[in-house]
A and B are shown apart, each in its own frame.
Chain A
Amino acid sequence: MKEIRLAIKILKTLVKDRIQYPDRLVVDTIGIIARCGILLILYSYVFKLSNGAINGTTFLFAAWSIFFYFSFSVLRLRDISREIMKDIQTGNVEVLLSKPISYLSYRMWWQVGSGIYSFVVITLLAVVTLFFSIGLPSTMTISIFLPTLLLTFFCGVILSLFLYTMVGLLSFWIEDINPVFWIVDKAVMILGGSYLPVALFPAFMFKIALWSPFGASQFVTHTVYKTWQTNWYQLVGIQLFWIVLLGLVVYFMFESAKKKVSVNGG
């Protein structure tokens, strides 16, 4: 109960803060235009050159898939790694660990809260824009689409948080986690279907995307394709497997990390 109250408090505070100071919304909007918007324009040209279909996929499916990736990225869950590193480098972690709250759940809720306002606003606006400019694929109008999209989205959020928390916790052992962060982040970018939609992946790369936690954290990009209707439960199962596994790794890493904290006073 206390945990839920804390989560709600963090979310409410951060949403109010973001509404009051909309800088982040502006940044995220320009960011999604620079990345996703330009990419979609380029892809529309590329699909036209290829007579409308590449690997049996049309622009409509590819565009929505790419959009889901970039929309998910607006949540900025990956920033949790650097926030943890900052806490450790500045010594702030000592203060947070001494409080009667779970440090990791506090950091995770903070991360969700800081991105949720931009995510909701940008996603709603972009969905409307895409709907009127390119339309909706038939796969997105069937009954199981929305519930399974939400399910895989929530699993993706938890998995991303665990994945990037693991990277952040490495700060207890190494002085600069940025190189590890870059590699994990790019693995997510490649296997998640960002600049290259999953439907255009070569077979072996698709398998890696399917069975690795990097690709699994971005399964929202698979939801627009026809194959999702038949194998969504398998994909959600993979996500749940990684959530349990990475959850355990995070737990043991954190327990071990806590023993390394030394209060230097001052």
Chain B
Amino acid sequence: MKELHFALYAIKKNIQSSAELRTSFLMNIVGMSINNTAFIILWGFFVKSVGVIGGWTVADIIGLQGFAALCFGIVFSAGAGIRKLAEYTASGAFDRFMLSPKNLLVRIATSSFGVSALGDIVFGIVCLGIYTFLIQATIQQILLIVLLVAISTMVFLSAAIVIYSTSFFFTDATSVTGSLFELFLTPSLFHGGAFQGAMRFIFTFAIPSLLIGALPVEIVRDISLGKLLLVSVLATFWFIVSINIFKRAVKRYESSNFMTFGN
């Protein structure tokens, strides 16, 4: 509870700080929302040209982009510090987090705020609103969407923790973490119906890309409790694994002794 209170306080201060540059703040949010529309246009035209694949319509594409953008936005707005882990470890700035009496992961995550990710949140909410309208969702489906946003965000956070924990294994891991993150995120934005067979298996179990968008959309569409159970179990599994990996990875950290006090 104390940690949550601290996290909320840090997020509030980060937002206040970012909002000082008002024009830039608003432009980032609007710009990112427009930017994300590109994927809907692309995959929308794909469905128009190719037809329905795996039962996926344009509405499902909108739902997929909504889930993915919302997860991304929630994790990388409030917890943008996770993305800077490679930078912190390479520069020695990580020392100050180790010395902090707060929870290490919470302290790192809330050390930075991603303004543009707020645009992802806005975009995600709008998309899921449109999706709900297009599929004429029942109360049951709306509740499922809310639940699945929470589960998907947990998976996204876990994946981000695992990926950025590799920062402790390389001298300068910025490039490595960037590549691994791209390998995770890019497939999550692709047309979910095109993932079949081995590809679906790999991107569900080995790299959890489909857990943050494609599978939630299919669960809402088909009201599939079996898939909901699978996603929930995998989300819990990834969360436990990510925390363990982070704890083990931190033990590898050696202070660079750069005397980087404060931010």
Q: How large is the interface on B (under 10, 10 to 19, 20 to 34, 35 or more residues)?
A: 35 or more
B99 in the interface, Cβ–Cβ < 8 Å? no
Residue of A nearest to B183 (CB): A34
Q: Mark A5-37, 1 if CB is under 8 A from B, else 0.
A: 000000000000000000110110011011100
Q: Which stretch, A38-46, A106-114, A219-227, touches the partner chain B? A: A38-46
Task: Give 1 or 0 for each of B4-24: 1 = CB within 8 Å of chain A CB.
Answer: 000000000000000001011
Beta-carbon contact of A189 and B38 below 8 Å: yes
- Is A207 located at the chain interface by the 8 A CB criterion? no
The total number of A-B Cβ pairs within 8 Å is 107
Q: Is the CB of A42 within 8 A of B34?
A: no
Could you give, for residues 191-214 of chain A, a 1 whenever the CB lies within 8 Å of some chain B CB and a 0 otherwise?
A: 000111000111001000000000
What is the interface of chain A mostly: helix, strand, loop, or mixed? helix
Q: Shortest beta-carbon distance, B38 to chain A, in Å?
A: 4
Q: Are A195 and B199 in contact (CB under 8 A)?
A: no
Residues of A within 8 A of B48 (CB): 202
B27 on the A face (CB < 8 A): yes
Which listed residue (A23, A34, A42, A54) contacts B191, Cβ 8 A? A42
Are B42's CB and A31's CB within 8 A? no
Which of the 9-residue segments A75-83, A123-131, A176-184, A239-247 touches chain B?
A176-184
B contact set with A: CB distance below 8 Å: 21, 23-24, 27-28, 30-32, 34-35, 37-38, 41-43, 45-46, 48-51, 53, 116, 172, 175-176, 178-180, 182-183, 186-187, 190-191, 194-196, 199
Q: 13 additional contacts, CB 8 Å, given A34-B186, A176-B28, A195-B190?
A: A23-B175, A24-B175, A27-B176, A43-B194, A45-B194, A174-B23, A178-B27, A178-B116, A179-B28, A182-B32, A190-B41, A190-B42, A201-B49
Interface pairs (20), CB distance under 8 Å: A27-B179, A30-B183, A34-B179, A34-B187, A35-B182, A35-B186, A39-B190, A42-B190, A42-B199, A43-B194, A179-B31, A179-B32, A182-B35, A186-B37, A189-B38, A189-B42, A190-B41, A190-B42, A196-B46, A202-B45
Chain A interface residues toward B at CB < 8 A = 23-24, 26-27, 30-31, 33-35, 38-39, 41-43, 45-46, 49-50, 54-55, 174-176, 178-180, 182-183, 185-187, 189-190, 194-196, 200-202, 205
